[in-house]
Every structure is written in structure tokens, then in C-alpha cells.
Amino acid sequence: MIEQLRQRARELLGEGTVALVIGYGRGNSPQATFPVFIKKADEVDRLVFNPFCRNNLAVYLTRKDIMPKGAVGLVARPEEVRSVAVLVQEQQFDPDKVVLIGVACAEPGKEGAACEMLKGRTLKELEAEVAERLKGRDPAQEVAAKVQELEAMTPEQRLAFWEKEFSRCIRCYACRQACPMCYCERCIVEKNQPQWIPSSPRPLGNYFWNVIRAFHLAGRCIGCGACARACPMGIPLDLLNAKVAREVKESFAYEAGFDHEVPPPMASFRTDDEQEFIK
């Protein structure tokens, strides 16, 4: 499939449909890849794709210093397709300026797992294909089991668990930088007049930072896990995000990133909503 991927990138760059292709390149070991930015058709051989392609490349689509004037081609795993769906919902770029090159691996992270090109070309087609692939499969089974363990704790035990985890946060913001949905030009944590969140890595500010970030991602996080993988302290951010996503699903019957035409729950309302949460 790697030849098909390179051929598609070659076509897009060669015919001038896109000015840049963002994909994965070979890392220092067979299990490592890193993002590559390709501007010329004769450089497409730098592209690789395998089960170890884990960065969420959609993070670059809102970066003004990286996005070209013309269109961009994006190597898009199911995680990128879902991220693009959220970013299009949130009107972060003109969808006609992003050409998706759909790819998927049967078992991400597993050596030798089969990878293939996705058939769809448009965002709508790829969303449907991704939904079909993920149907009946819980990609975060391990995370879901741990969320259940946390739910079984008393509120005091849960608070103690998270206080302990957040106490290790060094406020490097790698989680924010790795996340496609953390695109605010000025993050709340950097505002100091007034200062909403204490900025030094101490328990109170750490707690605010991590909880506020989780709330800001409610109904938007697609569960790619890039934030948890980026965290140098190994804080289980995926558990927090999965819990919030679960609450959103139960309350609004909504999962982020499967249909960019559906209004997101945190930015829409129904006039017949019983609004029980207000009581």
C-alpha cells in the first residue's frame, strides 16, 4: 500500500492540487516514525506508513506557520479523519483546502499488522468508512476498563487518585501541543490579566489546568491518545478524556468526529430539551 500512498501524494503535488503533503517519515528505529512535510513530487518516497504511525497529524492544520497558501494533502488515519470532522464543524479552515489521503492499520501498534488505503476520498465518504470500521469495536477497551475501575471508587478515592496523578504534572503543555483540538491562539493558561490558572507546577494550578483542559475537550476529543502519549510524566490523560467522552455520549447520544454536518452538543441546543441539568 505504501506505493499507492506515494502515488497519490505524487499526483496531488505533481498536478498542483496541493502545495504540501503532511504524512509520516521513517524514524530512527523500525518502531518510530515522525511527521514529514513534502512540497515536491520527487520527494514522496520519504513517506512511510506502518502500525507505528501514531502522531495525530491533524494538529498541523490550524498552524498558520505551517499551512501553505494553497491546499494541503493530509495522510489521514481514522484518527485524522475524525479530527478533521471536528475541525470542519468548528470552521477552523476551508474544507476544500484539505485533501485527505485515507489510510488505516488493522492493529495500530502491532508489528506486522496489515495496513491499507481507505477507499473514500471526500470527508463524508471517509467519515462513513471510519464509522463502519469502528462499528462494534471498542478501540479503547483497555481504557474503558480502567474508567470503570475509577467509576467504582468513592468520590474521595477518585479525588485522591487524580490529585496524586496531577501532582506529577510539570506544566510542559506537551499534551496541548499534540492535540488537534487545542488550537486557541492564546491558551487560558497563558493569560495573566486576570490570571485564571496559577502557572507554576503546583497542586492547585495543576488540578485546574488538567480539569479545565478536559472540560474544553468535552464533545470534541476523538480519543486518539496523542496527549497521553506526549505526556512525559505518564499521566493517564486518556482516562480523563474517555470519561468525559462517555458522559457526553450518555447525555447527548453523540460521539465526536463521525459526521461534520451534525451540530456539536456543546455549541447547539434543542428547543424541546427538558433542561433537567438546570434544576
Q: Is 181 in the site for ligand SF4 (CB under 6 A)?
A: yes
Residues contacting 25, CB < 8 A, separation 6+: 33, 34, 35, 36, 46, 47, 48
Q: Out of 54, 133, 171, 246, which residue is the one contacting ligand SF4 (CB under 6 A)? A: 171
Size of the site for ligand SF4 (CB under 6 A): 27
55 binds ligand SF4 (CB under 6 A): no
Which residues sit opposite 101 in a β-bridge? 75
* Residue entry with cell 502557572: 199
Residue 206 and residue 254: Cα distance in Å, rounded?
A: 29
Based on the shown chain and the rule CB under 6 A, indicate whether residue 208 belongs to the binding site for ligand SF4: no
Q: Tell me: does residue 32 bind ligand SF4 (CB under 6 A).
A: no
Q: Does 173 bind ligand SF4 (CB under 6 A)?
A: yes
Binding ligand SF4 by CB under 6 A: which of 103, 241, 248, 255? 241
Select the span of 22-30, 32-40, 131-139, 218-226 touching ligand SF4 (CB under 6 A): 218-226
Q: What stretch of H or E contains 238?
A: helix 237-252
User: What gap in Å lies between CA 102 and CA 137, rounded to an integer?
Assistant: 19
Could you say which of 43, 233, 236, 249 contacts ligand SF4 (CB under 6 A)? Answer: 233
Is residue 244 close enough to count as binding ligand SF4 by CB under 6 A?
no
Q: Whole-angstrom Cα distance, residue 24 to residue 48?
A: 6
Per CB under 6 A, 161 contacts ligand SF4: no
**Taking phi first (over 0 means left), then psi (-120 to 50 degrees means alpha), and beta for anything else, what does residue 31 get?**
alpha
Q: Which of 9, 104, 175, 197 binds ligand SF4 (CB under 6 A)?
A: 175
Q: Is 224 near ligand SF4 (CB under 6 A)?
A: yes
The Cα 141–Cα 61 span in angstroms is 29
Contacting residues toward ligand SF4, per CB under 6 A: 56, 169-175, 178-179, 181, 210, 217, 221-227, 230-233, 235, 237, 241
